[in-house]
Amino acid sequence: MGQIIGIDLGTTNSVCAYMDRNEPRVVINEEGGRVTPSVVGFTKGGDRFVGDIAKRQMLINPDATIHSIKRFMGRRFRDVTSDLRLVNYEVLEAPNGDCVISVNGRTFSPQELAAMVLQKIRKSAEDFLGEAVTEAVITVPAYFTDRQRQATRDAGTIAGLDVLRIINEPTAAALTYVHERQKASTIAVYDWGGGTFDISLLEVNRDVAEVRATRGNNTLGGADIDRRIVDWLLDHFTAQHGIDISQDKIVMQRMRDAAERAKLDLSTAPSTEIHLPFLVSDSDGPKHLQCSLSRTTFETLAEPLFQKTMQECRLALQDARIDVDDIDEVIMVGGSSRIPRVQELARELFGKPLNKSFNPDEIVAIGAAIQGGILEGEIKAITLLDVTNFSLGIEVQGRRFATLIPKNSTIPTQKGQLVSTVVDNQRTVKIHVLQGESSNASENVSLGEFELQNIQPAPRGVPRIQVKFGIDVSGIVSVNAKDLRTGLSGEIQIEAPTGMSKLEIERLRSEADQANKQDEAGQALKQLRNKVEKQLVTLESFLRENHGMLPKQDIFELEQALKRGRMALLKADDDRNLRSLLGYLQRFHQHLTKKLSQQASIH
């Protein structure tokens, strides 16, 4: 077994970590950073960029720069209406009802785009570690549905990774806490990132981390805070100039960028200046935006969002049947947890000083790496007792939802229930598997359905069909139905609720591998061209400096070599010709240098 990496696949940024003997380390990416923006950018020529370079093109090419991918993973299009205001690119509805993203005339599933980010992370890890990486533990928000969890696993598979475990982000943070502290405590993990919010309550000691309850909101993050600032800026600009600029994608991206920077500034300063020159022009000339945003105004704008997270915390305490006085420490995770007002509200609610000794951007990835180390047997096993984040059950007569496994049940677990027919002589029973908390089946998330056929004819209510749910430690749901009278049984495993078949995932994985090889070949060609360019510049400098000492024949040959090199750079599209040219230029340079050296020694 090779090195298992831990990946925090974030809405805004992603982080990768690994275990170095008994110590977790963060992987440094190709740009020398510890975090990688979860951004994929495309050019009209078909080139693709991931990470920092993609984020830099966001202002000038916003409709082909894909960010906040995590907000659309494993979700139906009908459920993402409010999220569309947070992005400039085009999100469409696929034939199966899922979300797809349109870029330059081509559509991508969120899983494909997330896989591109994971490929970038995987390559950074391989370069950093000096070995191939094929296995990973990936974290997800605690309140991700089964569809979203499977979509994350599919993205890892497309990226060429064997995803050994999907674990909750707050639980990963708790693993880091246990690894570092190794003491008995009841802790609250407040995790507010760029796109999601989670609160988990855990009891931990030296070698056990038990989740008591978890709650959250998968559509509440730092991007929503930014949107409040953007709306305020739009109102300010409209009042000043009387112009609606909300439909201009480039202007809106500049607004979002300014809003994010203002939010960061207000974490350390009482106010910040926002200056956006030349936003638009009309007959009267260019229009600028310049204003001051105070921390007080910012907190007023975002207070309803802050209070939503506090309400989730209160509900989690109720679910866990834990009094607030029983909480020993509060661990703050995620970029949005740095906001001063958020920290003030958390201190007021829990009545405890906040533990800010962990880096909120890295603690989750480190926890995932620790889980990988446990799976490898490299470090002492920590028993991880996680819980289901939503109730699991089936649809019964009257389109009602019958819960089999309540939310916050410790996993792995298995539960069963007897069901029967609803009409006389019914020969089949459809088992519709659902996830959610509503008593109305249609308001919950469908995980899949199957039919148990060839039931022995009987009056309604007479057949006895035993339905069993099983959830393993990886969160994979399996369902078994058995007719107790005949012994007839059927079983499904909810493996692809995102609408992607295994065949499609393998096809995308093959395409991703091919695209990655092409990217590597293209990068190698660029590096080779750069070497040729550098050698030509060196020769040009050599000619200028030594023109008076070189024979006319050498000068002529050198000028011809330079001309040949420039022409080759204009038309060369394969590395064989360029490598041959580079070797010739290097040898010619060495020949002339040696010749001048010999002339100097004679004189």
How does DSSP assign 197-213, residue by residue? EEEEEEEE-SSEEEEEE
361 annotated active-site:
no
> Residue 142: pLDDT above 80?
yes
pLDDT at 382: 76
70 annotated active-site:
yes
pLDDT at 89: 93
- Catalytic option among 98, 112, 169, 386: 169
Maximum CA pair distance of the chain? 116
Lowest mean pLDDT, pick from 126-140, 249-263, 462-476 = 462-476
How does DSSP assign 451-514, residue by residue? EE--PPP--TT---EEEEEEE-TT--EEEEEEETTT--EEEEEE--TTS--HHHHHHHHHHHHH
pLDDT at 486: 72
Average pLDDT over residues 147-170: 91
Q: With beta carbons less than 8 A apart as the criterion, state whether 444 and 437 touch.
A: yes
Average pLDDT over residues 435-448: 85
Confidence of residue 388 (pLDDT cuts 50, 70, 90): confident
Average pLDDT over residues 586-596: 80
Closest among 210, 206, 212, 211 to 184, alpha carbons compared: 206
Lowest mean pLDDT, pick from 269-273, 483-487, 561-565 = 483-487
Average pLDDT over residues 492-504: 54
Convert the pLDDT of each residue in 51-99 to its tens digit.
Answer: 998 998 888 889 999 999 999 998 989 889 889 989 989 999 998 889 9
Confidence of residue 600 (pLDDT cuts 50, 70, 90): low
pLDDT at 496: 43
Convert the pLDDT of each residue in 541-590 to its tens digit.
Answer: 887 888 778 788 878 888 887 887 777 776 655 566 777 777 878 887 88
- Catalytic option among 191, 329, 361, 395: 191
List strands edge to edge, sheet with 208-217.
354-355, 329-333, 185-192, 197-204, 208-217, 383-385
191 annotated active-site:
yes
- Model-level pTM? 0.79
Average pLDDT over residues 114-142: 93
Closest among 16, 73, 62 to 40, alpha carbons compared: 62
Residues in the chain: 603
Confidence of residue 511 (pLDDT cuts 50, 70, 90): low
Say how far apart CA 538 and CA 344 lie, in whole Å.
60
Confidence of residue 101 (pLDDT cuts 50, 70, 90): very high
Give percent of the chain with pLDDT exceeding 70.
Answer: 91
Average pLDDT over residues 339-345: 96
pLDDT at 509: 66
Lowest mean pLDDT, pick from 30-44, 165-179, 357-371, 418-432 = 418-432
- Catalytic option among 70, 120, 123, 482: 70
Provide Rg for the chain, Cα atoms. 29
